Amino acid sequence: MRRWRTVIAGGIAVALGAGLAVSGVTSATAATTGNWATVTVDGTSRAYTGSIALPGFPDTTFTSTSRQATVVSGASTWQGASTPPGTVYGTSRGATYLNQRPAADDARSPAVTTWTFDGGTPGAGGWSFVLGDVDADQATISATLADGTPATVDQLGYAGSYNSCSTVSPGGWSCPRDPGGVAAGQDLPSWDPATGVLRGNDAANDTAGASAWFTPTASLATLTIAYQQRSGLPVYQTWFANRTSSLSGTAALDGEPLVDTLVTVTAPNGTEYTTTTGPDGAYAFPALTQADGYRVSIATPDNAAVDRAPAVVDLRTDVTDADFVLSTVPGTVDLDGSVVDADGRPVADAEVTVTDTSGLPLATVVTDADGRWRAVGLPAGTAVVATVSGAPPVSGSTGADGAPVAALDPIVLPISVGTITGRVTLDGGAPAAPALVEVLQGGGVVATVETDADGTYGLALRPGTYTVRTEAAVAGAPEPTELTVEVTADGTVRADFPFTTPVAVTVGQAGSVRYEDGTPVVDTTVTARPVEAGSGAVVTVETTADGGYSLAGLTPSTEYAVSVEGAPVRTVTTPATGTAADAVDFVLPLPTVDQPGTVSDADGAPAATVPVVATLTGDDDGEPVSTTTGDDGTFVLEGLRPLTEYTITAGTGSEQSDPVVVTTAAVGGTPEPVRLVLAEVAVTPEPTPTVTPQPTDGPTPSAAPVAGGTGQGNGGGPTGGGLAFTGADVTPAVAVAALLLLTGGGLLSVRAARRRRSVPQD
């Protein structure tokens, strides 16, 4: 039997090994698939950082002001395969996601999380983000495009709201019933397409499974989610997913595999991915996010040309035929020469024709400002003739393949040329960069030259009428940029371009930044960024002591995005020159601070799970703030007003601590922890059980005299009241004595009984 167990175990091991081997081969084969991101998080409360990783997706990082941000395994809550995103990307079960809380549990303290995509996300479709557990809270979503401009709400790609509970999404996680005994799976968040706000149910009840998903329709540089509380202690969840496909092909040179050659895929957002061809000339990119507009290129070897290359690839499924066909180009070389006049001066704009000895044209070129020309791609080792109209031809030969560039003797025109000279200046001096000067004749450019370091230039041209032009050294310069000159043989004509810097015409934009209670926000940055890139400069300014600001140097009649951290971006159009702009005011939520502390019992030991309450001191009607101590007795009261007096107590009832009055720290300051000690609670001792004595036969005692009463005394005489000598009644003393005697007797009886029970029995 043991031998059979060994055989069976060995068979199972072999089967498992074979299964693992097969699965390894399968996983190495790329195919269209859905993926859920792996999430990491680091940092501390309100200063979190982290990242996500998805195959074929740009490097993505985030920062967050959330009070709590954690990575959850996805083992108990996930997006099932039957949810809307699950039908596209598959189930997220076992994939990590980010769980977050607001900065504080009040509507004035949203947590702002900004995701940054290195180089931008791929184009439309192919990836999504999912927000879950949006019920007693809301999320305001915004983004920027790759060029830095704000994305529209439509470009966020809201795909719909749904519930992820298994009751409505088969295969999903098991949700508890909603408040009021309502079955799970009924709650859905609402989306406002005008403001970009995803809002939980109207009652702000804490439900389960309320979710929404988004598939952006443009390449995003950043994604920002401002998450805030509406009631209770809410959290929300964030998933990222993408769908990838493979792109592969082969490369061949003259019919043979092109080995170890670099292949580059450029995504629609400009991100480049590279690989090299293998021994069979094949290459593969196993996982690229699905999108339209991928471009594939290959490093072309020397003396080779690409005969066939893949067109632009719309990657929505696996592509396996992105092939390159290359061929070797016959050896070619370049040929240099020049044209001069009868006096040896260079002649610009002279058309040179190069032919072989049979008269077959090989190249036609034009001399530059120095009278030089170069013909490229001529067959190697070939006899050639170079001619210019009106000049004797010059013969020569191209060089051998791989040899230095060959040069012909100068072609001499039997005429004398003239010269155009001049200088380009800006405010009397040379421009910072060389200026390009062009010479035109008959509507075509016949010569170009760059100015020297001092702004001067010179050209030798055949006699004739020419137009000389250049661009203004600075935009908007009022001087002419085009002059007409007459060139004569052996003559010199000047064409100067003296530019002056124009006075800039700009407008300003004023406004203020205040908190909700009207308090000025001092030294905060206000930024104005042109909505259309290149239509003006980005201008920043700090607010003054009264919260005001004034942005100067803006382009008139131009749309700007004006922003302040913590407030929605405002889009304004600057006024025309000479008119005043309406003020652009920002209102920020009141800032809050935390107050840490400890609670111990009367013996100095940490007190765990003790309620702590902070109440505004004075007549202020603000709501109390509460929390509970941790296992080590520490606590943090969050969302308090800065520089405000609070009364803090710990515990309830008879153990409540003495109140402590503190003034909270300023925003950004370091609070002083407060120490609270619970009151000592008096302990009432438990009474000792009394043994009831058994009655015995004996004489009946006479009635005790009652103080102040009537009755029979000793010997039947009249009563005399209490004992005069002691001043005490006999009855209580006698009763106490009797009780003590009975108690003692009972105890002796009990002891005797126990001893009897302890005697060994036969």
| pLDDT reported for residue 280 | 96
| pLDDT of 675 above 70 | yes
Distance CA 678, CA 650 (A): 7
User: Amino acid identity of 699?
Assistant: P
- Give the CATH number of domain 507-588: 2.60.40.1120
Contact indicator for 650, 612 with CB cutoff of 8 Å: yes
Tokens in use for 600?
């111990």
The band of 202, judged by pLDDT with boundaries at 50, 70 and 90, is very high
Tokens 């393949």 -> residue = 401
- Which of 118, 178, 112 lies closest to 139 in space, CA to CA? 112
Mean pLDDT calculated for residue range 493-499: 92
Task: Specify the long-range contacts of residues 693-702, CB closer than 8 Å, at least 24 apart.
Answer: 693/742, 693/743, 693/745, 693/746, 693/749, 694/746, 694/749
Contact indicator for 227, 235 with CB cutoff of 8 Å: no
| pLDDT of 8 above 80 | no
Residue 650: CB atoms within 10 A of its CB come to: 29
pLDDT in tens, 110-128: 999 999 999 899 878 899 9
Determine how β-strand 444-450 pairs with β-strand 47-53: unpaired
Q: Do domains 507-588 and 593-677 have the same CATH topology?
A: yes
Radius of gyration of the chain (CA): 46
Contact indicator for 281, 324 with CB cutoff of 8 Å: no
- Which of 55, 5, 10 lies closest to 30 in space, CA to CA? 55
> How does DSSP assign 684-744, residue by residue?
PPPPPP-PPPPP---PPPPPPP-TT---B-GGGPBP--S-TTT-S-HHHHHHHHHHHHHHH
| pLDDT of 728 above 60 | no
Contact indicator for 236, 100 with CB cutoff of 8 Å: yes
Task: Name the 3-class secondary structure at 182.
Answer: strand
Distance CA 227, CA 65 (A): 10
- Give the CATH number of domain 593-677: 2.60.40.1120
Domain boundaries of the chain, sorted by first residue? 33-243, 332-412, 418-499, 507-588, 593-677
| pLDDT reported for residue 206 | 93
| pLDDT of 26 above 50 | no
Query: Would the pTM count as exceeding 0.85?
Result: no
pLDDT in tens, 211-268: 999 999 999 999 999 999 999 999 999 999 999 999 999 999 999 999 999 999 999 8
Contact indicator for 678, 607 with CB cutoff of 8 Å: yes
Residue 136: CB atoms within 10 A of its CB come to: 22
Mean pLDDT calculated for residue range 160-181: 91
Tokens 């009040």 -> residue = 106
Determine how β-strand 418-426 pairs with β-strand 497-499: parallel
Tokens in use for 482?
């085009």
Contact indicator for 161, 132 with CB cutoff of 8 Å: no
| pLDDT reported for residue 4 | 39
> How does DSSP assign 660-673, residue by residue?
EEEEPPPTT--PPP
What size, in residues, is the chain? 762
Tokens in use for 546?
């009264």
Using the CB atoms, write b or e for 597-631: b if 16+ within 10 Å: bbbbbeeeeebeebebbbbbeeeeeeeebebebee
As a 3-state breakdown, the chain gives helix, strand, coil percent values, each rounded to 5, of: 10, 40, 50
Percent of the chain with pLDDT over 70: 84
Q: Which residues contact 758 (CB under 8 A, 6 or more apart)?
A: none
Distance CA 16, CA 316 (A): 35
Q: Which superfamily, per CATH, for 418-499? A: Immunoglobulins (2.60.40.10)
Q: Hey, which of 424-428, 507-511, 674-678, 720-724 has the most confident mean pLDDT? A: 674-678
Tokens in use for 522?
């001092």
Q: Kindly report the backbone phi and psi dihedral angles of residue 740, in degrees, each rounded to the nearest multiple of 5, phi listed first.
A: -60, -40
> How does DSSP assign 427-439, residue by residue?
TTB--SSPPEEEE
Tokens in use for 386?
């170079």
DSSP label of 537: -
Beta bridge partners of 464: 487
| pLDDT of 494 above 70 | yes
- Give the CATH number of domain 332-412: 2.60.40.1120
**Residue 67, H or E segment:** none
**Residue 12, H or E segment:** helix 2-28
| pLDDT of 476 above 90 | no
Mean pLDDT calculated for residue range 57-73: 96
